Amino acid sequence: MKIAVLDWDTMTCGGDISPAPLEELGETAVYGLTAPELAAERIGSAEAVLCNKVPITAEVIEKCPNLRYIGLFATGYNNIDIPAATKAGITVCNAGEYSTAAVAQQVFAYILDWASRVRDYDSDVKAGQWEASPTFSYFPIPTCELAGKTLSVVGFGSIGRTVAAIGAAFGMKVLVNTRTQPDNCPYELCSLEEAAARADVLTFHCPLTEKTAGMVNAGLLGKMKASAILINTSRGGVVCEEELAQALDCGQIAGAYLDVLSKEPMSPDCPLKNAKNCTITPHVAWAPLETRERLLSIVCENLRAWQKGSPINKVN
């Protein structure tokens, strides 16, 4: 069978991962990146297409009559026209839970940065501040213990559960807000408003839907403590960026750590770019080598299962 891979460059850094496992599954054409207007042309007569962010629209599907399978190098599938794919008899499969450990690790990198201020102290030491200290220990920058702090987790899928468990291991008080009632949840469940009001750390792990779009807005931010921080590693569209920037600049909350934005790559005029106490990483939480290797393995297994007539991780 013919397989088209449309944006392999989103999976590899300097060739650290090879597409060879995919090439074992069929006659494979691998493209580094594909502009949306070239998607149909590059899929051509292929029966399967694999992509990360390239839009597979109804128009693309109509132009590719041989297409029977769409595989995603991602958990999210908002770039795929699912109704059009279903109508055309095309199976769509995503890769769930491949990045749980990596994203949870990134969340706690942020939390520890906030609590221990390692970057700030390193800068002061290298600027000679410790050398000039009259005492053996130089600690003018406030730090805090995580034990006893309240961690509010919005979304209780695999990542949210892992973040909650790590927080509990640090001795944090964990609150959970989720749209579905989890079975045997060991943590206190509460409304989004209560989660925001009580949080020292408010972290988001929910999908981008009509209900979650813009949920981090002036109203919610106004309920947070001035000493609290906000973390978003879910989807950029969950946050009203202008309203978060205003809350940061006026000291309404203490800080924000973001790995995702509403437009990616970041727009030069993103209101959060120069916002006070705002740390932004370039959608990198999912990207450790081990995580990407796991993702490739899942994508291959999804395609292999579909070829055998027993698809897994279907989204339609």
CA separation, residue 8 to residues 38, 91, 132, 193 (Å):
15, 21, 51, 41
Average pLDDT over residues 38-49: 98
Q: Residue 59 has what pLDDT?
A: 98
- What distance in Å separates the CA atoms of residue 233 and residue 259, rounded to the nearest whole number? 5
Q: Residue 176 has what pLDDT?
A: 98
Long-range interactions of 268-272: CB distance < 8 A, separation 24+: 270/241, 271/241, 271/242, 271/244, 271/245, 272/241, 272/244, 272/245, 272/248
The total of other beta-carbon atoms located within 10 Å of residue 211's CB is: 10
In the chain, what are the domain boundaries? 2-98+289-307, 100-280
pLDDT band, residue 181 (cuts 50/70/90): confident
At 190 the three-state DSSP class reads coil
pLDDT > 70: percent of the chain: 100
Encode pLDDT of 134-176 as tens digits: 999 999 999 999 999 999 999 999 999 999 999 999 999 999 9
Domain 2-98+289-307 and domain 100-280, same fold? Reply is yes
Q: What is the DSSP code (8-state) at residue 8?
A: G
CATH numeric code, 2-98+289-307:
3.40.50.720
Average pLDDT over residues 294-309: 98
Spatial CA neighbour of 295 closest among 100, 35, 91: 100
pLDDT band, residue 85 (cuts 50/70/90): very high
Q: Residue 40 has what pLDDT?
A: 98
Assigned superfamily of 100-280 = NAD(P)-binding Rossmann-like Domain (3.40.50.720)
225 by Cβ neighbours in 10 Å (0-12 / 13-18 / 19+) ranks as middle
The total of other beta-carbon atoms located within 10 Å of residue 47's CB is: 19
- What distance in Å separates the CA atoms of residue 151 and residue 158, rounded to the nearest whole number? 16
Looking at every residue in the chain, the average pLDDT score rounds to: 97
Encode pLDDT of 94-130 as tens digits: 998 999 999 999 999 999 999 999 999 999 999 999 9
Average pLDDT over residues 46-51: 98
- What distance in Å separates the CA atoms of residue 314 and residue 297, rounded to the nearest whole number? 16
Catalytic (active-site) positions: 235, 264, 283
pLDDT > 90: percent of the chain: 97
pTM above 0.75, yes or no: yes
| pLDDT at 191 > cutoff 90 | yes
pLDDT band, residue 292 (cuts 50/70/90): very high
